[in-house]
Amino acid sequence: MIKFRVNGKGHSFDGDMDMPLLWYLREDADMKGTKFGCGIGECGACTVHMGDVAVRSCSVPMSALDGGEITTIEGLAQKSRLHAVQQAWIDEDVAQCGYCQAGQVMATAAFLKEYPTPTDADIDENLSNLCRCGTYYRMRKAIHRAAR
């Protein structure tokens, strides 16, 4: 049996420890905001935070979670106030189909903790989530807006 927290709430699990965290979030915890894209750690649609670090939840086994603190897109806003990245995404009208955007927002929120005033080069080097609609230009504007 492992215990961990998701968005500040206690969770426990004693099933298949090789199961990906993404499966747990979507199926066991019924949190559908974190998306399945590739399932092999390549696209970033499933990005959540473990502590302050962005991870691809399709590639994190449940065995890695004991004592951990997970934040998903559902827990990023604090009380009724959107996270600065969420607000910037709205202000810059980033989303097109929207499927990858929860992962993009989570990856960006973790990135800005490490790079509070990023350059375009920092963004290019550190953010690798994929967007098949190609909203990269608007995301870049939103990242700079969130960093202000």
Residues that bind ligand FES (CB under 6 A): 36-39, 41-46, 56, 58
CB of 64 to ligand FES, least distance (A): 15
Task: Name the residue with the smallest CB distance to ligand FES.
Answer: 58
- For residue 140, the number of C-alpha atoms closer than 13 Å in the C-beta half-sphere is 13
- Least separation in angstroms between CB 96 and ligand FES: 18
Partner residues linked to 20 by β-bridges:
61
Backbone dihedral angles phi then psi of residue 28, each to the nearest 5 degrees? -80, -45
Would you say 31 or 147 has its CB closer to ligand FES?
31
CB of 136 to ligand FES, least distance (A): 17
Q: Judging by beta carbons within 10 Å of its beta carbon (0-12, 13-18, 19+), is residue 138 exposed, middle or buried? A: middle
